[in-house]
Structure 1
Amino acid sequence: MNIIFKTNRLYLREFNIQDAIHFYKMNKDPDVIRYTGDTAFKSLVNAKNFLAEYKDYKLHNMGRWAVCLNENDTFLGWCGLKYHTNEKLVEVGYRFYKKYWNKGYATESAKASITYGFETLKLKDIYAHAHIKNTASHKVIEKCGLHVVNEFIYDGMPAKLYKIENPHYEIKQISAEETYLVRQPVLREGKPIEACVFDGDTEEDTFHLGLFFKSHLIGVASFMKNNSPIFSEPRQYQLRGMAILKEFQLKGLGKQLIDEGENILIQKKVDLFWFNAREIAVEFYKSKGFLISGDAFIIPNVGIHYVMLKRFQS
């Protein structure tokens, strides 16, 4: 039995095929699935097939988990984290047998899932949604510390979207020397520290941002006043040395550094923000509104790059 997390009353574990009977019974109750957009399983076999094909644990290192009582292993329902591939976000969700409603189990297990997401998976933020009329679910989500982001249509139904951010993350300005602690293992692996020093690092107009997790530096980005001859805008800044430690990659954390840097550049009344993007990072930067300028080129000993840019309205 793979236990994920324990609380005072509960433990969360990975599903097993024996849980199929609970999925079958819970989804047969119209009150349980009223606001979910789901339908009842046609048979117990269908429920078993669903669990047999459940791949989230292997694909995303997270998923929905069975919620059971510590004292006697009673299956109460499920709760956990789901990674939405298209939206690239993680959502906390839950479902319980009706006889276990109003006992605080949903709140207790959802808080445990959020703690696991922040402490173990080191997620930057976690979302949740609930049907507009699902008052009980709104109360659970709010007790867990999530705040409304907006209202939207989810699976064809009106819903509220909630969000909570990991309090252990912090972005602040750092020195050029501090950036080398992340630049070296990510961008210049196996090379001496001198290879991490960039022209412009110590210029007066340059600023460096550091992303910290529990006071440990895990990501960096440098913003340098530098006009490219291929652009005509008078006030330009270049991004250099964007890097996130391997353990923290693929969590959307680079977006936080870019957003904070852009806010500072806008305050500085910069016209154009540009950089040389590694080929593997192009799609990430496109998702942030950056455009490719010109053809691909090769930086020796580093690889294929593209010039990318974003113009700011003055």
Structure 2
Amino acid sequence: MIQDFERATTERLLLRAVSANDLEAVFALHSDPATNRFSRAGYMRTLDDARKTLGLWLEDWAREGVGYWLVERLDAPGVVVGLGGVRHKELEGQRVLNLAYRFAPQTWGSGYATEVSRFALALAAKHLPDVPLVAIIHPENTASLRVAERLGMRLDRTIDYDGCPSRLFVTG
């Protein structure tokens, strides 16, 4: 595991690797229709769905030493407000780091997605500079599009992502 990725803090947030104890938090974030409005899979309906997703993310950490974080506010320890970071995936036959962020609706507009993503981009540039970093965003998800632009990512092209036209943003 790349130690810098496992547990870190930003100005306002604790970023920690997902753990087997995070099933309820993963389900809470992914079962809310509002937080999944632009998700190609829609919102999670069962804890078993969350268990499968969490299992994939735990495998990422075990195999790659990198994966998505659960995010807590430093002033509210133990309260998960979102998820973010990077994980390896294959896109169009190429190994990439996928940048993702999803936060509870009550935190929207707080800048948390930008804060977490800026930190993730810096760590990826330091530790995994040879792996292309991308963000795949639904074209109607204006808030996520703004985050990618604020981070200095550039729109590369529109791709078909699991049957949904999506905007592919890249770094550099």
* TM-score normalised by length of structure 1: 0.49
The C-alpha deviation readout for 1:8-48, integer Å capped at 9, x for no partner, is 00121111223211221222221211112123333224423
The number of aligned residues is: 164
RMSD: 1.9
Code of the residue aligned with 1:30 in structure 2: it is: P
- Per-residue Cα deviation, 1:125-156 (whole angstroms, up to 9, x for no partner): 31112111110000001111100101122121
Cα distance in 1 for residues equivalent to 2:142 and 2:97: 22
The answer on 1:19 being equivalent to 2:26 is no
Alignment partner, residue 66 of structure 2: 62
Residue matched to 1:32: 35
Offset at 1:104?
A: 0.2
| Per-residue Cα deviation, 1:40-75 (whole angstroms, up to 9, x for no partner) | 333224423432453011222211111111122221
3-state SS of 1:128 partner:
strand
Equivalent positions of 1:24-173 (< 5 A) are 24-53=27-56, 54-73=58-77, 74-85=79-90, 86-165=93-172
Q: Distance in 1 between matches of 2:160 and 2:139?
A: 10
Q: Could you tell me how far apart the structure 1 residues matched to 2:159 and 2:87 are? A: 19
Give the 3-state SS of the residue equivalent to 1:29 in structure 2: coil
Could you tell me whether the CA contact under 8 Å between 1:92 and 1:127 is conserved in 2? yes
Question: 2: CA distance between counterparts of 1:88 and 1:80?
Answer: 16
Residue 66 of structure 1 contacts residue 78 of structure 1 at CA under 8 Å; is this kept in 2?
yes
Letter in 2 for 1:77: G
CA distance in 2, matches of 1:15, 1:4: 10
Tell me the amino acid that sits aligned with residue 61 of structure 1: G
Does structure 1 retain, via aligned residues, the 8 Å contact 2:23–2:50? yes
**Runs of 5+ in structure 2 lacking a partner?**
none
Aligned-residue identity in percent = 26
Using structure 2 for the length normalisation, give the TM-score: 0.86
Q: How does 1:120-269 map to 2 (within 5 A)?
A: 120-165=127-172
Shift of residue 77, structure 1, vs aligned partner: 0.9
- d(CA) in 2 for partners of 1:49, 1:153: 24
> More deviation in 17-26 or 98-107?
17-26
SS of the residue aligned with 1:32?
A: coil
